Amino acid sequence: MTDASSPLVTTGIAVVTGANSGIGRATAIHLAAQGFVVYGTVRSLDKAAKLGVMAEHAGVEVRLVELDVASDSSVAAGFARILAETHGVVDVLVNNAGVGGNSVVEECPPQMYLDIMNINLCGAVRCQQQVLPGMRKRGRGTIVNITSLVGRLAALAQSPYVTSKWALEGLSEELAQEVAPFGIRVAIIEPGITKSAIFAKNVDAPNQSGAYDVAYRRMFQMYAAGLAHATDPFEVGKVVHHAITTDQPKLRYAVSWGAKELIDGRAAMTDEQWVALGAIADDEDYYAEFADKFGLDINDLP
């Protein structure tokens, strides 16, 4: 065993899942630019054309591996190829692959929870289990789990997504203690609203009863405000690189629009204040209270 607080290498072999777009693509390219040998996993090589173009423009290489984090066999096959090429060495795993999901609890089919958890939580578990034995034997390595600000704050009308990210936060916190004796670092990256295709795809409002118009409206209002000021995904990539290489590591890193304000604001509220916020009937009163509690004016759109 090694001292878990010892600095890790500043370059090595990194695997980034969900590398075809958004945060994953930016992180893969940024790590490659910092000297890492980067494997980027994608569900389909046909969808990675933009990654190839951006990597070429940056003067770096991202080695593509077709891999679906929702499948045991696909993850095993993808990592078998990676580990064969790297002689069993992966220094850094960035679990980024994930999907969104809008629904209120009353109207969310249980299967939707299972499908999203299978990707956002179990997908990370599958990949971690592929690299942890080698990291443990070598006494070094870093696992980076990309969660979300909604892993710390239960945002409205996104119950399956929120649930999956809270689960990944809990798993990451436990994992950090489990692997600390082996010199393995765990970092949780909690992005706020970042320029990414996930938001363009996340527009469903399955309000079958019509009873939850308010919840969906306020959820979309927050994201509209965030998208108007969305953070470049390369900023998240820089935070990932810092988390990997710093000699003063933290467990959690909030980054991108709204993340710190919303996480800190929720931590400063009592549970009773949080519930009372949801009970406000008038939208204007709700937005005013939201601004007071979180320091974000989501009612002021460009």
Side chain identity at residue 27, one-letter code: T
Contact 35, 212 (CB under 8 A): no
CA atoms of 255 and 240, how far apart (whole Å): 10
What is the distance between the alpha carbons of residues 276 and 184, in angstroms, rounded to a whole number?
41
**113 part of the active site:** no
Catalytic-role residue among 161, 212, 286, 287 = 161
The token pair that represents 26 in the structure block: 């930016």
SS3 letters across the chain: CCCCCCCCCCCCEEEECCCCCHHHHHHHHHHHHCCCEEEEEECCHHHCHHHHHHHHHHCCCEEEEECCCCCHHHHHHHHHHHHHHCCCCCCEEEECCCCCCCECHHHCCHHHHHHHHHHHCHHHHHHHHHHHHHHHHHCCEEEEEECCHHHCCCCCCEHHHHHHHHHHHHHHHHHHHHHHHHCEEEEEEEECEECCHHHHHCCCCCCCCCCCHHHHHHHHHHHHHHHHCCECHHHHHHHHHHHHHCCCCCCEEEECECHHHHHHHHHHCCHHHHHHHHHCCCHHHHHHHHHHHHCCCCCCCC
Two tokens, residue 219 = 């959820």
Q: Cite the active site residues.
A: 161
